[in-house]
Structure 1
């Protein structure tokens, strides 16, 4: 067992960029929503740097890139709804688990550690993605970006998780790929662990000074 798990009684995971590479499906939905508005595609490389703050922010960044300015509220609302419609048709068509994820989740579950999922993705998309990889039974609680009034990097979702399982924050670990995960974990009093392969707006996640970094989640077990 990895030393960062010493005395840990609960592990919370981010989803996109940590457990799954969802950018191919996210980018396809972004480009389809832009096409509906007569706009050129953003493309997967750009979308990869825009993921992490929820779908509304993703579309805001996409429109800003196309327009060269901030979109007005009405246009953003139309684009966001288009994204939700396209993405909702099959949010896991081209999404893949990162290497080591299945092994890590299976081993942690088998050891009896409660697992939670805390993502900024709209909650409606969580269950279909987990079901596609047969992971729905691994998590005792799943929170999306719209589950509570605030989302990461605010610590509220992580504090909610700790309270739900009645585990002190100091005995909880937050695992993610971005500065938002590390900031939220630190502010909530969690130990923090980062993976460097995900989406962090083009910045090294090590710059956020997590308590630990693993190249693969398989290193946890």
Structure 2
């Protein structure tokens, strides 16, 4: 495979962080005097960054209408959420099967690895440390590292520029429409994973270059050439 750089999404691609996110969201809602939601409901709200997750939780649905919430209310709720999420003790976040060994195999094969997530950057280093992945990625960007986030291609192009790699030599790998659209907007190949968080939509409907139902199959595909 004539590629040099593999850019990974984080939540829903490498890790299942919904149990911790759901706990923090429900603490936020309870603190604000609102009803909590099931983990399965909250799972469908994850993927567009913390602010959108908080907005969806406040109104109890995926589509938030313009003017439905004030900036002040969202800002306050987001701070309550951040406080709860930062205090999550025994982390329920887990790596998906074969991710740990797969990442190490890809790095050993000579690929540069990067991480581009819509999660606020302040929460990323602790999780990477938790899994022992802090030295795997040549570049790490959070949802607030740049003025824009996925599906805008800017974070992906920033990583390519920083590592001096042509976007044509990179692949975007993720579980949601934000990842596939960001990769397509950056004119790079995209690999989709069907097991993550994509608002109930089959990742294949977004026409990634290839799609897989498990991480091991993705690694085999990348290494086969």
| C-alpha distance 26-91 of structure 1, shift in aligned 2 (>3 A) | farther
Q: Equivalent residue of 1:116, what SS?
A: strand
* 1:30 shift after superposition: 0.3
Structure 2 residue aligned with 1:119, among 114, 117, 120?
Answer: 117
Structure 2 residue aligned with 1:16, among 7, 11, 15?
Answer: 11
The answer on whether the counterparts of 1:12 and 1:172 sit within 8 Å (CA) in structure 2 is: yes
Aligned 1:64-213 pairs, distance under 5 A: 64-65=59-60, 70-90=68-88, 93-213=91-211
**TM-score of the pair, normalised by structure 2:** 0.92
Q: Equivalent residue of 1:115, what SS?
A: strand
Cα distance in 2, alignment partners of residues 106 and 91 from structure 1: 27
Q: Equivalent residue of 2:114, what SS?
A: strand
Query: Structure 1: where are the runs of 5+ without partners?
Result: 1-5
Cα distance in 2, alignment partners of residues 122 and 132 from structure 1: 17
CA deviation map 1:88-136 (0-9, x unaligned): 1237710000011112101011122110000000000111111111111
- RMSD of the TM alignment (CA)? 1.4
Q: Equivalent residue of 2:44, what SS?
A: helix
Find out whether 1:46 has 2:41 as its counterpart: yes
* Equivalent residues, number: 215
Query: Structure 2: where are the runs of 5+ without partners?
Result: 221-225
**TM-score of the pair, normalised by structure 1:** 0.94
Cα distance in 2, alignment partners of residues 190 and 134 from structure 1: 28
Find out whether 1:33 has 2:32 as its counterpart: no
Equivalent in the alignment of 1:217:
215
